Amino acid sequence: MKISVIGTGYVGLVTGVSLSEIGHHVTCIDVNQDKVAKMQQGISPIYEPGLSEMMTKNINENRLSFTTDHRQGLKHSDVIYIAVGTPENHDGSADMSYVIQAARDIAENIQQNVIVVTKSTVPVGTNDMIKQTIQSHMAANLQMEVVSNPEFLKEGSAIHDSFHGDRIVIGAESEYASNVIEQINQPFGVPIFKTDIKSAEMIKYASNAFLATKISFINEISNICELLGANIENVSTGMGLDQRIGSQFLKAGIGYGGSCFPKDTKALIQIAGNVEYEFELLKGVVNVNKKQQGILIGKLNDCLPILTGKRIAVLGLAFKPNTDDMRESASIRVTEELIKQGAHVIAYDPIAMGNAKSILNPLVEYADSIEEAIADSEAALILTDWDEIKNIELALFKTMKKPLVIDGRNCFSLEAVESNGIEYHSIGRPVAT
């Protein structure tokens, strides 16, 4: 199969590379010239474990190429994937401008019949709109169909997820289009669920909203645990043993971030609102998350009410481990608040510091190691549970001016901390000293 992918972000690049790995000939198109120049040299513009190696292999085997030219990139393709961004508008709805532009790019450049597959997360009804947009701009002698194929990869394990995902959802109008996309995906060996287009579009939003709900739920329970003296880690473990509940996404922390949950929850509230349905539960989930993101600063201020001139270490900047993605990361809000209160912020992240430098307040300083960040600091805040942070020698915290650790990801057991003379505040657990 000859395939084109429009957009080479986390989803588009991983999709293109994975499809080439299973034998398809893939051309990836992006409007960002710098990104394309890098990818043409085999350099991945994003950090994703295993991606660079697989990308280089498939470029060398002539199954994978990159271009900024839509005409050239779409030439002779049987199937075109749309994987452009759908960021948040000011009112919380999904911004469809990149998707509409991609549809126009397809219409203006195809010279053959195609199936257009939407990977981007889009509101229910968008694939109908994509179809109309393309049909009204393309040459009259051509035929096209649309298929909804939402993406469920997790940043940090995206390549692994392509080959070991829980399901591939294919929403189509015609059996022909549905079967073609099924055949393309069959070599992944992942279970395929075929459905109608609108249901496929909704499956993506409903899945993300449900996972966000689980996170906000356990965070609320953790706050109640703190007030009652229970331990959230024990509570989560005990709850997760019930197979109806499941143990995943029951980890209390400082709330969800990233490029999907924050925008997709708000978009679904809007989608429901458009048909005059008030999604009260999801509104609660969003509000709880906002509150939870502020919880670490509250704990720090309880210990150090005045931060002016105080050196505070921030460990972990990415929104979660194993990614360089800073979108909607808790570190943005936390570092901003620390600076606002006059603190001298020294940050460290194993991978995301490059991206962080263009996003965080310019007053944030960066250390080359955990050791450098915490040395002489008056408090260390842990925002991301990278293995490097979880595996730290706890005695290292004694190099701080005062060994005060405020952990937003519950990286350490209370027993381990207690024998190390650290004042340790975490989420949903008693304070350890």
- Which residues are at the interface with ligand NAD (CB under 6 A)? 6-12, 29-32, 35, 83-86, 98, 101-102, 105, 119-121, 151, 153, 155, 259-260
Gap between the Cα atoms of 323 and 386, Å rounded? 10
Q: Which is nearer to ligand NAD, 44 or 86 (CB)?
A: 86
Q: Which is nearer to ligand NAD, 152 or 217 (CB)?
A: 152
Gap between the Cα atoms of 80 and 190, Å rounded? 21
Q: What is the dihedral of CA 374, 376, 378, 381, to 10 degrees?
A: -10
Gap between the Cα atoms of 431 and 25, Å rounded? 56
Least separation in angstroms between residue 217's CB and ligand NAD is 22
Least separation in angstroms between residue 74's CB and ligand NAD is 10
Least separation in angstroms between residue 323's CB and ligand NAD is 8
Q: Which is nearer to ligand NAD, 219 or 259 (CB)?
A: 259
Least separation in angstroms between residue 109's CB and ligand NAD is 11
Q: Which is nearer to ligand NAD, 154 or 402 (CB)?
A: 154
Nearest-10 crossing angle of helices 51-60, 10-21: 50
Shortest-Cβ-distance residue relative to ligand NAD: 9
Q: Is 260 a catalytic residue?
A: yes
* Position 339, amino acid: I
Q: Provide the residue count of the chain.
A: 433
Select which of 225, 260, 303, 411 is catalytic: 260
Least separation in angstroms between residue 146's CB and ligand NAD is 15
Residue 355's nearest CA partner among 322, 315, 334, 325 is: 325
**Tokens 């069959």 identify what position?**
186
Least separation in angstroms between residue 307's CB and ligand NAD is 34
| Burial grade of 263 (CB within 10 A; 0-12, 13-18, 19 or more) | buried
* Position 79, amino acid: V
Q: Which is nearer to ligand NAD, 236 or 355 (CB)?
A: 355
Q: Across-strand partners of 58?
A: none
Contact by Cβ (8 Å): 109, 70? yes
Handedness of CA 185, 186, 188, 190 (dihedral sign): positive
Q: Which is nearer to ligand NAD, 67 or 410 (CB)?
A: 67
Radius of gyration of the chain (CA): 23
Gap between the Cα atoms of 430 and 230, Å rounded? 8
Q: Which is nearer to ligand NAD, 38 or 291 (CB)?
A: 38
List of residues 6+ apart from 235 with CB closer than 8 A: 221, 222, 225, 428
Least separation in angstroms between residue 204's CB and ligand NAD is 7
Alpha helices in 117-245 (DSSP H): 126-137, 158-164, 175-185, 197-228, 232-240
| Burial grade of 419 (CB within 10 A; 0-12, 13-18, 19 or more) | exposed
Active-site annotation, residues: 260
